[in-house]
Structure 1
Amino acid sequence: MEERIEELEVKIKELLDDKKYHQIRELLIDLNEADIAEIIETIEIKEDVVRVFRLLPKDSAADVFSYIPVEYEQMIIESLTMREIGQIMNDLYSDDAVDMLEEMPANVVKKVLAATDKETRRDINNLLKYPEDSAGSIMTVEFVDLRAYMSVMDAIERIRKTGVDKETINICYVTDVQKHLLGIVTLREIILADAKESIKDLMNENIITVHTLDDQEEVAKQFQKYDFAAMPVVDNENRLVGIITVDDVMDILEEEATEDIEMMAAITPTDQPYMKTSVFETYRKRIPWLLLLMISASITGKIIQGFEAALSTCVILTAFIPMLMDTGGNCGSQASVSVIRALSLDEVEFKELPQIIWKEMQVSILVGATLSLANFGKILLIDRTSILVAFVVCMTLFVTVVVAKLVGCTLPILASKIGFDPAVMASPFITTIVDALSLIVYFNVAGIFLGL
């Protein structure tokens, strides 16, 4: 499929050069909307982007629009008439419209809202009021609602009349006149039931819901737990105000995973694709953390300076400093990443910190003993130092591994408890702390056993 898309990209660019627009339209008609959006992204000339978009059938233009990057959306919006903008916005699902407007400049947003009809504008404005990254900000208001007193035949008729504009009709929501959520019923249950049977008898009253102000990451966890395709969103009075569908959750999971990866690598999170981010923007996201880590790493330099006299007495000790620091950092990173993942999946809580520490303590003893024994043999056979020096290095290595594991498992949980993102306490910070601790342990052990 990817090869076919690449061939179409080349073909469409050739047809654009030859101004054979009818052939372009014929090529696009049978393509999936996501594939059309991918092709549009490869077109570099603004006029050609707008021209190709205008060639799309009206019933698929809004779907294609929801897939293209925001800069292309803005490019198209600025080139369309008010009538054309209104057509697109009225056909877009409300959550997709809100996602687009949140990224647009104020003047473009004003133009778009002016082109939409009153009902669409009201829905968009209501969704824009919810906090960013909340359930309310990602929900859609296009859902099928039924009444408990309806018969199956009445419900099917309502689905036929209203379902064409809804994001999903697979799950229908039963509400009263005040929009209070009473139950849910699937399309499968409706179709298989007797035509005269009541919706009240079919609906499931044991409903899992999320609140409009719930964090989007918590919403994603609920989807993972219950394997839902859609989930109702309610307000403080249990009134149904929208639904969240699984396609939105997929975007949330990607966004949250990307954010955690960037935080763990000491990069300020960004929502822009790598190739779309400018050099200066990339620099701006990275440099604050690098400066902070560079300054904090100078602590290890001060520690080494404090033991300069001891090192001059036994120079061979200097050769093992990188190994001790790297091993400690690696051990700390392993523990922190495991705990951060467990926290993100709600597998552990703060109250379980003692059990986590005990588990990591046992692991660190086994790991530390294995590494120390292997290193002891390597120092004697390859480095050919004295047994006492080998003992000092391996004793330090053992203690460093234990300390690193404890620091690595503790800091993310403490960070989560006080409200910070646990991912902040990943590799860079753990490594810096463990480096300093390993040097302190190293020189003190050397002082005790080597009399430095």
Structure 2
Amino acid sequence: MKKDLENIVYLIKEKRYTEVRKTIINFNSVHIGELIEELIEELDVSEAILVFRMLPKNLAAEVFNYISSESQEKIISSITDKELEYIIEEIYFDDMIDLLEEMPAHVVKKILKYSNVEERKLINEFLNYPDYSAGSLMTIEYVDLKKDMTVEEALRHIKDTGLNKETIYTCYVTGKRRKLDGIISLRKLILSDYDIKIKDIMKKDIVHVNTNEDQEEVARVFRKYDLISLPVVDLENRLTGIITIDDVVDVIDQENTEDFQRMAAISPSEEEYLNTGVWTLAKNRLVWLIILMVSATFTGHIIKKFEDVLQSVVILTAFIPMLMDTGGNAGSQSATLVIRSIALGEIKVKDTLKVIWKELRVSLIVGISLSFINFLRIYFIEKVSLYISVTVCITLLFTVVLAKIVGAVLPIIAKKLKLDPAIMASPLITTIVDAASLMVYFSIARAILHI
């Protein structure tokens, strides 16, 4: 891609525009979009617009979907009304909704100028769906059939209307008042006899979602049933639109990014890192850092409470970092696995006891192994007294068990409370486990060392 960009930049500077056009029209539309993004950064915006105008109209409309909202705004502000009108006519309805959500008011007004009354009504309806819901993801560009059609009639209907549909591989059978009666694949239609009725070969067991369903649940349904499209219905089971796999891939990417941010104790942001302001990044991180800093003061209070133990046996202090780090790491391992399993739908709230039982057994194996290795190191290599070595190793066992159970249970509790399980990730679990491990450590020290 870098070599292509350098070549295009060279040709533009040499004003060899015919060669530029011959070069770029053979590119994949995604690559052309990336190229235009790079040209906007490398050269003047006008040069990128020049390249965009060299594209055939249908290719230009397709490429438009693969560039960032910032670049889309620059292009819309620079091209003629006639060019914009063609793009708006050619892009899919759901992509236009996404475009309108990202653009400033003056650009939205310019776009809406080329939509008729019916389209504006639909646009307003789509924009009123809750953010991150199935309704906000769906498109109205699907193939609908009637159950009394024959296969021949259905295929003719697909040929007549399918060109402007986002997908034709799955067709939706609707009855009175757009009620969803069934679905049928294009493959099934092609392989069936022409005189067979659609109602005799359609599938009636339909997987669908409601318009208000959360986008994370939509992604889970796609993954579970291996779908390429999914019908969206309202409360009366009327077909209002479909969601296609390309939109769900974006959702999965967005949800994964959000989980990573939460697990790192950062407030989620949809902005790309390099496009996000310094103050915004600081604000997203500062709130959680303050919460964790304040909660970490409990650890200091615990150490202060057991100050007499530390003064009596100063060497106990040397093992505090190891115990706290091991506990935090052990808890993070369990939390990461459980959070991911919850996201994939593998663990439900009802599985809490199963998770605790599994993590208890795992933690005992891990804890005993770590304690045994640690005892050999402390007692035989570092020559620490037997009682202190035993104190540290017993504490380590209890810490690992406690950490793994806490790390596994907290995300499930968050799920039960309808919170994002990812917030119960490494930083928060580490803070809780640190305080608990210190309590255990000093309590065991008092009991064994008789302090």
1:244-259 → structure 2 map (5 Å cutoff):
244-259=243-258
Q: Can you list the C-alpha shifts for 1:322-370, whole angstroms capped at 9, x where unaligned?
A: 0000000011111111211121122122222122212211211111111
Letter in 2 for 1:110: K
1:405, distance to aligned residue in structure 2 (A)? 1.3
Is 1:239 the counterpart of 2:235? The answer is no
Is 1:15 the counterpart of 2:14? The answer is no
Task: Name 2:404's counterpart in structure 1.
Answer: 405
1:92, distance to aligned residue in structure 2 (A)? 1.0
1:195-210 → structure 2 map (5 Å cutoff):
195-210=194-209
Q: Can you list the C-alpha shifts for 1:160-215, whole angstroms capped at 9, x where unaligned?
A: 11111000111111112421111111111222222222222222222111111111
Task: Name 1:39's counterpart in structure 2.
Answer: 35
Distance (Å, rounded) in 2 between the aligned partners of 1:389 and 1:57: 78
Q: Secondary structure at the match of 1:42?
A: helix
Task: Name 1:289's counterpart in structure 2.
Answer: 288
Unaligned runs of 5+ in 1: none
Letter in 2 for 1:91: E
Q: Secondary structure at the match of 1:108?
A: helix
1:412, distance to aligned residue in structure 2 (A)? 0.9
Distance (Å, rounded) in 2 between the aligned partners of 1:325 and 1:118: 64
Q: Secondary structure at the match of 2:240?
A: strand
Distance (Å, rounded) in 1 between the aligned partners of 2:80 and 2:5: 27
TM-score, normalisation: structure 2: 0.96
Distance (Å, rounded) in 2 between the aligned partners of 1:136 and 1:147: 24
Task: Name 1:450's counterpart in structure 2.
Answer: 449
1:330-345 → structure 2 map (5 Å cutoff):
330-345=329-344
Distance (Å, rounded) in 2 between the aligned partners of 1:189 and 1:407: 51
Q: Secondary structure at the match of 2:267?
A: coil
1:212-227 → structure 2 map (5 Å cutoff):
212-227=211-226
4+ long deviations beyond 6 Å: none
Identity of aligned residues (%): 49
Q: Secondary structure at the match of 1:233?
A: strand
Q: Secondary structure at the match of 1:173?
A: strand
Distance (Å, rounded) in 2 between the aligned partners of 1:107 and 1:300: 54
Task: Name 1:162's counterpart in structure 2.
Answer: 161
Letter in 2 for 1:13: V
Q: Secondary structure at the match of 2:357?
A: helix
Distance (Å, rounded) in 1 between the aligned partners of 2:343 and 2:382: 44
Report the more deviating stretch, 418-427 or 191-200.
191-200
Q: Please, what is the CA RMSD of the aligned residues? A: 1.4
1:119, distance to aligned residue in structure 2 (A)? 4.2
Report the more deviating stretch, 170-179 or 137-146.
170-179
Distance (Å, rounded) in 2 between the aligned partners of 1:308 and 1:114: 73
Task: Name 2:425's counterpart in structure 1.
Answer: 426
Q: Is this contact kept in 2: 1:94–1:140, CA < 8 A?
A: yes
Q: Cα–Cα, structure 1 residues 246 and 411, in superposed 2: closer, same or farther, change >3 Å?
A: same
Letter in 2 for 1:17: K
Task: Name 1:327's counterpart in structure 2.
Answer: 326
Is 1:174 the counterpart of 2:173? The answer is yes
1:120, distance to aligned residue in structure 2 (A)? 3.6
Distance (Å, rounded) in 2 between the aligned partners of 1:394 and 1:46: 65
Letter in 2 for 1:19: K
Q: Is this contact kept in 2: 1:210–1:233, CA < 8 A?
A: yes
Q: Secondary structure at the match of 2:362?
A: helix
Aligned length: 448
1:84-233 → structure 2 map (5 Å cutoff):
84-233=83-232
Distance (Å, rounded) in 2 between the aligned partners of 1:247 and 1:261: 22
Q: Can you list the C-alpha shifts for 1:88-141, whole angstroms capped at 9, x where unaligned?
A: 112111111111221222222222112334444333222111111110100111
Task: Name 1:26's counterpart in structure 2.
Answer: 22
Q: Secondary structure at the match of 2:412?
A: helix
Distance (Å, rounded) in 1 between the aligned partners of 2:26 and 2:200: 42
